[in-house]
Structure 1
Amino acid sequence: MYIVYEVRTQEHKTVAHPEVTCPLCQQQGGVHIAIRQRYIWWFGPMCPTPKFGIAWCERCDQKIPNVKWSKPLEQAYRNDKSSVKTPLRLWRGMLVIGGLFATLSVVAMVKTKMRAVDTSAQTEYFAHPQVGDIYYAHTGGELKVEGNSASSVNQVYALFKVVKVDGDSVFVVQGNGSRVSTAGNIINEYTSGFWDGIEKETTAYSATPVIISHQSMTQYRFFTPLPRLKDATPGGITQIKRPGK
């Protein structure tokens, strides 16, 4: 991560000191002192450094190095510096950054609370299925074994609507909008807009119900059709939506 910023210099004031003798040319009437201050510019001015002075002489047209400053020049600099206060505007960027971080913190808190509410609702839906609930799920498919590796193929991703609940059995019917994941075309359900696309395509549901185990739903969030086939692998429920909620 890179942070790009500028170091700028604020010149507060320049004062002429005709009473001070230039330590370079030994003449009076040409010494000037400028009081300056550096600060960082990033979303505005911030982090001003201590003030400093630059002295030069118009008589000899030279900058006077600090190591050459005489005691009268040092005293004139201290007097000039003491009369200059750091303006509050040089801290303005800190207010912007502080406001930005405060806004991000509030947004993060709101999102965290929304996720907590959503998680609580999903837990309730898993624990107490109701007729009309819509499951965004895949059926698990079939187990395919090749050498020392195994994978699931022919998984059907679709919306399933609850039409009946009877003990441990939850009866659902499959929507007509679906995706099939095969060995040659593996589906990633977390792709942006994946479930939105299936939801938009689903205009009707099958009349033939599929029975799934409520116990496997609550314990593992599995979508396990009953009776379970020999080579079937457990499906999964990504989310549940309850109409009107």
Structure 2
Amino acid sequence: MITIVRINKNHLFLKTIPVPDIQCPLCKARGKMEMTFYQLQLEAGWVRDTKKISAAASCNGCQRDVPVVRWDKELDAFYKAEKKQITVKTSFKTGKFGKFLIWLNILFFGGVFLLFAGLFIYHRIAPKQKAGTGISREELVRQSGQFAAGPRTGDLVLVYLFNDHKQALFRIADINTAAGVIKAIVSDKSINVPANAGEVPVAEADFKPGNETSFSLADYKNLRITAPDNSRVGNVQMIYRK
């Protein structure tokens, strides 16, 4: 929402005093000048009397107003010295329209603040919300570490393969503790990281004969996939247990 309000500037008369022994920059007459002081007032549905003081100089000799751009050092010094002696009263008054604008702005900026606060809170809380199985993403990562420490036949293992630069899903088919080897079958489907085990897109037909592989049990417990020839194949991304 954009509200355009015109602000009027009023100059409230304060006083007029003579300017003694200063030469007029226009006619060069000395002792003929006077200076009038004003207080700046702003008006836009509300009225505010500010602390700002301005002045206008005129010459009774040549009957002309002296523009500020023609003021010399003496005239400017007189203005600054006299301005320090003036005490003005400030005030702020609102009419019906002014009160309406104030409340309109409060409601608008309050609504914007609540919107951004809500988005901030949502993004802080959303990652901690439960997935469909009641397990949060953080809990699933922690649980994967536990599953790796105690693997079981049928576990589904999401692995990032270094050479292929992609993720692959393995299903553990056999665990030979004595030999320290895990045998698994790799799925021929590419998947992303699901939120939980119930959402893993897996079917028996995805694990076809001929896609068997084996890797080190010890390294698997550290979330690493190492081939029988001790070459590093990839890293475990997630482990799902149905």
| TM-score for the superposition, normalised by structure 2 | 0.35
Larger C-alpha radius of gyration, 1 or 2?
A: 2
